[in-house]
């Protein structure tokens, strides 16, 4: 683990690592699954790069992937067209590009896969245990540590490309967080007084992702759902879900085999929700 422990004064810690390096990231990979690692200084958004990579990069379906990491993003984005603030030198901005052999309806599984890979990598590299707020947030102590934005291109119902963007606040201090999210967001440094090597964490995420992705292709989604359940803070709790313009209340009962939320409505009916925003009756710890 390349982490540095605090002297008890987070403000005096070395703020980041020695910069992103494709060679360093590659040196810890478990296999040759990853065809390319693209390290950028400044981009609009790593997801934009992933979506616009030339198609003549021959992605054998499902057999390989490309990773893009950036030091900073000028137009980092989250779900619902929100801005993802992406200061240089501190945090993780990473996109995985795949041509997965799954149906567009199964795309939420990729978000779950990325959340599980990120959670496992954070645990191994920093000792931090995160929870997952369905469908795409990584939480620590009820605050948002990271998020995942999966964007897909399809042609005639077939997924031609999936770009899975992962943003994790690593070495930001409380002062680095924009005031509008300061009370709701956190970072590894804030939570654990530990700085994280972005190269090491990138490698760990890639290895953890590859492991689960191969399992998904070989035996399906059930191992992912099984791994996800204990990380979800909301199961069995009363939640409010924004499903488009509709606001639904109910008990978050389960996640189904397509990664969708199963909500038990007060009427007793079950409602399956494939994407939305969840909160626990005013508390943001789902
Ligand atoms: C969310 O919580 O709404 C999702 C945030 C996703 C942020 C990451 S950072 C890397 C990639 N590039 C982007 O512009 N967004 C994702």
202 lines ligand 1 (CB under 6 A): no
26 pLDDT band (50/70/90 cuts)?
A: very high
Distance 175 CA to ligand 1 centre (A): 21
What is the atom index within ligand 1 of the atom nearest the CA of 44?
Answer: 14
Q: What is the per-residue pLDDT across 197-239, written as a single tens digit (0 to 9) for each?
A: 999 999 999 999 999 999 999 999 999 999 999 999 899 999 9
Average pLDDT over residues 42-71: 84
Q: Are 95 and 49 in contact (CB under 8 A)?
A: yes
Nearest-atom number in ligand 1 for the CA of 137 is 2
Query: What's the pLDDT tens digit per position in 130-141?
Result: 999 999 999 999
Tell me what percent of the residues of the chain surpass a pLDDT of 90.
Answer: 73
- Ligand 1 touching residue 209 (CB < 6 A): no
Residues 6 or more apart in contact with residue 35 via CB below 8 angstroms: 57, 59, 64, 65, 66
Q: Which domains does the chain have, with CATH numbers?
A: 2-230 (3.30.930.10), 233-280 (2.30.30.100)
Taking the C-alpha atoms of residue 123 and residue 82, their distance in angstroms, rounded to an integer, is 27
From 115, 167, 201, give the residue whose CB has the most ligand 1 atoms within 8 Å, as the site to mutate. 167
**pLDDT for the residue 162:** 94
**In whole angstroms, what is the distance from residue 14 CA to residue 173 CA?**
11
The string of DSSP letters for 73-111 reads ESS-B-GGG-B----TTTSEEEEEEE--SS-GGGTHHHH
pTM above 0.85, yes or no: yes
CA 95 to ligand 1 center in whole angstroms: 8
What is the mean pLDDT of the segment spanning 58-72? 82
Best probe residue, ligand 1, of 39, 47, 94 (max atoms within 8 Å of C-beta): 47
In this prediction, residues 178-205 reach a mean pLDDT of 94
User: Considering the chain, what is the average pLDDT of its residues?
Assistant: 89
- Report residue 241's pLDDT band, with 50, 70 and 90 as the boundaries: very high
Lookup: tokens for 258: 């397509």
Residue 17: the pLDDT is 74
* pLDDT reading at 59 higher than 60: no
Least-confidence region, from 13-27, 92-106, 170-184, 236-250? 13-27
The pLDDT-based confidence of 5 (bands split at 50, 70, 90) is: very low
Does the CB atom of residue 50 touch ligand 1 within 6 A?
Answer: no
CA 279 to ligand 1 center in whole angstroms: 20
Tell me, what's the pLDDT at 12?
Answer: 43
**Ligand 1 pocket, 165 CB below 6 A?**
yes
Give the whole-number percent of the chain exceeding pLDDT 70: 89
pLDDT at residue 95, as a whole number: 98
Cα–ligand 1 centroid distance for 270 (angstroms):
30
How does pLDDT run across 249-286, given as a tens digit for each residue? 999 999 998 889 999 999 999 999 988 899 866 545 55
């Amino acid at each position: 683990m390349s982490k540095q422990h605090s002297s008890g004064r987070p403000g005096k810690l070395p703020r980041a690592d020695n910069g992103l390096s494709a060679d360093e990231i590659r040196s810890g990979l478990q296999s040759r699954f990853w065809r390319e690692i693209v390290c950028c200084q400044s981009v609009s958004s790593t997801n934009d790069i992933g979506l616009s990579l030339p198609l003549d990069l021959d992605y054998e379906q499902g057999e390989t992937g490309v990773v893009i990491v950036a030091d900073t993003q000028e137009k980092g984005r989250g779900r619902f067209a929100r801005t993802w603030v992406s200061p240089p030198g501190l945090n993780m901005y990473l996109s995985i590009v795949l041509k997965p052999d799954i149906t567009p309806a199964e795309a939420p599984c990729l978000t779950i896969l990325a959340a599980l890979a990120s959670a496992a990598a954070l645990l191994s590299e920093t000792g931090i245990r995160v929870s997952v707020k369905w469908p795409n947030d990584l939480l620590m102590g009820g605050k948002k540590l990271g998020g995942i934005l999966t964007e897909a291109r399809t042609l005639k119902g077939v997924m031609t490309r999936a770009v899975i963007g992962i943003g994790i606040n690593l070495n930001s201090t409380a002062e680095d967080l924009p005031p509008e999210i300061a009370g709701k967001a956190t970072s590894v440094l804030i939570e654990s007084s530990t700085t994280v090597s972005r190269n090491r964490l990138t490698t760990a995420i890639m290895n953890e992702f590859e492991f689960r992705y191969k399992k998904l292709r070989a035996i399906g989604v059930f191992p992912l759902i099984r791994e996800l359940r204990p990380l979800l803070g909301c199961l069995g709790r009363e939640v409010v879900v924004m499903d488009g313009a509709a606001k639904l209340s109910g008990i978050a009962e389960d996640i189904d085999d397509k990664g969708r939320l199963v909500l038990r409505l007060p009427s007793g009916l079950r409602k399956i929700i494939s994407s939305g925003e969840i909160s626990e009756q005013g508390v943001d710890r789902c």
